Every structure is written in structure tokens, then in C-alpha cells.
């Protein structure tokens, strides 16, 4: 694979005094700093790109299209727009410049793609096939636990039910066997399929890739905290950056208009784990 060097301005939101400015919250303005990379040390991490929102996407017949989506129709359609209008054209151009593409997803959604065999070792495939379940020792003494175990379980179960409606969630979960990577961003020949931190680390080490640019969903959940997400890969020393216009998370009535939850999640990534960049700036830097 050919190798080129490029310079890019990576962005962050400071939490410290800026020269010539009053030290107030309004002075915490997104700023930039310049880095130089070789194309062969950079990778794109596509996190949990699923086909909810497509007419031929996952549907539980008893629920219908809208109630089959994960977090509502507007959320599904926003992610579809990001995938088709931003992520797909961005990775197409980055591939042409020699940037490695990684599809980070659940093993169950990856194993049917032909790249699965070349992306994993036999040991990794065996490990992916094992279902991990938490074991609970029901014989453990509980009389000294406070708050009492039954009380803990009851309020936590009720809270989860209030938020996620467990009856609906069980029905909606029937759609998961229909999840696919959307056709517009399906893995191509030399793409790598990733399902765990350990497997991701091996593939990155073998290729000398040390800077990752993340795209996908949800910004404040799987992109950040999954096994192959920003926090875990940063803990191994990799540079983990978020592509701001290629991600989102589910909003609420109070945040939807301004996509405030997405914006705050991006700022948290900038504060704790890495930089951010716009997709157009990334492509232009690589192609320059």
C-alpha cells in the first residue's frame, strides 16, 4: 500500500485559561492544533453502522416500522442520513488515499462477511463464538448487605422499565437477527472487521496504525465505551479522534432541536480521550 504524509488541524475545546481572554466559560472556544501523519499509520473506525431506518431494514411485524427502530423514527432517519450522505462518501475517498477502514461491530453481525476470516485468527473466532454470561452465586450470604438486595433489584428493575419499557424492548429485540451493515458502507475487499479490543489491538499493531478516527453510533455509548471504542483503545495508547459530523446519539424533547446531547458527548471526548475533526477537513488534509 502506498504511503503519503499529510498535515491536519485537530480540534479540541479547552478547559483552561487562554492568553488575552477572560477566564470564563464563554472563553472555552473550540481551538485547533496541527499534527502530521503518514497515511499508513491512520485508520478509520466505523462503529455499529446498522440498517435501522432503511425500508428493508429490521422490522418486527407486530410493531411496525416506527416502533421497530431503536430510539424512534427521527433518530433512525438521522443516522441513515449521516451514513449515506457523510460517512459513505468520506470513506470512499479515504480508501482511495490508502487509509485503512475498520468495521467495528458485534461479532454476530460480522461473521457472514467474507473479510471475517482474514480479519480474525482461529483463536479469535473461537472466542467470539463463546457466549459470556455473568454467573451469580445464589448461595452467597445476603443478610449483611445494605441496602437490602431485594430492595436494590426492585428499584433498579423499575427504573429500567420506566426508561426502556421492558415489554416493548423484548419485542423490539426480535429485530436484531435482521441487522446488517447498510449497503452503502458494506465492507470492501481490504477492509478489516473488528469485534473486540484485543483483536483490534492485534490488527493495529500488525499494520503500524496508531491514530484512529471514529465515525458511527451512539456517540456517548458504543463509540466511546464499547470494547473497541474510544476509551478502551485510548487506554492502550492509540490516538482516538471523533469525526464530528459522522456521529450522533439519541436525543430527547429537551435536546433534539440543537442536538445538544450529541454536541456535549463530542466535547466530553475532546476533554478526556482525543481530538475532533470535520469529515471534509479530514478528506481535504489527506488528499492535499
Q: Is the peptide bond before 218 cis (omega within 30 degrees of 0)?
A: yes
Domain contains 64: yes
Q: Do 33 and 274 contact (CB within 8 A), yes or no?
A: no
What is d(CA 39, CA 21) in angstroms, rounded to the nearest whole number?
A: 37
Domain contains 149: no
Domain contains 247: yes
Domain contains 232: yes
The DSSP secondary-structure symbol of 82 reads H
Domain contains 46: yes
7 backbone dihedrals φ, ψ, rounded to 5°: -110, 140
Domain span at residue 250 reads: 5-126+179-287
Tell which residue, 223, 283, 245, 256, has the closest CA to residue 81. Answer: 245
Identify the CATH number of the domain in which residue 239 sits: 3.40.50.850
Domain contains 56: yes
Domain contains 76: yes
**Number of domains the chain contains:** 1
Query: Could you tell me where the beta strands, DSSP code E, fall in the chain?
Result: 5-12, 31-38, 42-47, 100-104, 192-194, 211-217, 239-248, 276-277
Full pLDDT tens readout for the chain, 288 residues: 578 999 999 999 999 998 899 999 999 999 999 999 999 999 999 999 999 999 999 999 999 999 999 999 999 999 999 999 999 999 999 999 999 999 999 999 999 999 999 999 999 999 999 854 443 444 445 568 999 999 999 999 999 999 999 999 999 999 999 999 999 999 999 999 999 999 999 999 999 999 999 999 999 999 999 999 999 999 999 999 999 999 999 999 999 999 999 999 999 999 999 999 999 999 999 998
Domain contains 135: no
What's the pTM value of the predicted model, to 2 decimals? 0.94
249 backbone dihedrals φ, ψ, rounded to 5°: -140, 175
Amino acid at each position: 500500500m502506498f504511503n503519503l504524509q499529510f498535515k491536519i488541524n485537530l480540534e479540541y475545546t479547552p478547559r483552561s485559561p487562554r492568553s488575552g481572554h477572560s477566564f470564563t466559560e464563554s472563553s472555552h472556544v473550540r481551538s485547533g492544533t496541527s499534527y502530521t501523519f503518514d497515511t499508513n499509520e491512520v485508520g478509520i473506525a466505523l462503529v455499529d453502522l446498522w440498517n435501522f431506518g432503511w425500508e428493508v431494514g429490521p422490522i418486527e411485524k407486530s410493531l411496525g416500522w416506527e416502533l421497530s427502530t431503536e430510539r424512534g423514527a427521527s433518530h433512525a432517519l438521522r443516522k441513515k442520513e449521516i451514513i449515506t450522505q457523510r460517512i459513505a462518501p468520506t470513506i470512499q475517498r479515504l480508501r482511495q488515499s490508502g487509509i485503512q477502514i475498520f468495521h467495528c461491530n458485534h461479532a454476530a453481525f460480522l461473521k457472514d462477511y467474507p473479510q471475517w476470516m482474514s480479519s480474525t485468527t482461529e483463536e479469535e473466532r473461537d472466542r467470539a463464538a463463546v457466549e459470556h454470561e455473568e454467573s451469580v452465586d445464589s448461595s452467597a450470604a445476603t443478610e449483611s448487605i445494605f441496602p437490602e438486595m431485594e430492595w436494590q433489584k426492585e428499584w433498579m428493575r423499575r427504573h429500567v422499565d420506566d426508561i426502556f419499557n421492558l415489554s416493548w424492548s423484548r419485542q423490539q429485540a426480535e429485530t436484531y437477527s435482521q441487522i446488517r451493515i447498510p449497503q452503502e458502507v458494506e465492507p470492501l475487499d481490504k477492509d478489516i472487521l473488528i469485534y473486540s479490543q484485543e483483536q483490534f489491538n492485534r490488527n493495529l499493531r500488525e499494520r503500524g496504525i496508531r491514530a484512529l478516527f471514529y465515525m458511527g453510533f451512539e456517540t456517548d455509548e458504543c463509540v466511546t465505551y464499547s470494547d473497541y471504542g474510544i476509551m478502551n483503545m485510548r487506554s492502550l495508547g492509540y490516538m482516538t479522534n471523533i469525526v464530528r459530523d459522522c456521529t450522533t446519539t439519541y436525543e430527547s424533547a429537551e435536546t433534539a432541536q440543537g442536538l445538544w446531547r450529541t454536541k456535549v458527548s463530542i466535547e466530553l471526548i475532546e476533554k478526556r480521550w482525543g481530538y475532533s475533526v470535520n469529515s471534509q477537513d479530514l478528506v481535504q488534509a489527506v488528499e492535499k
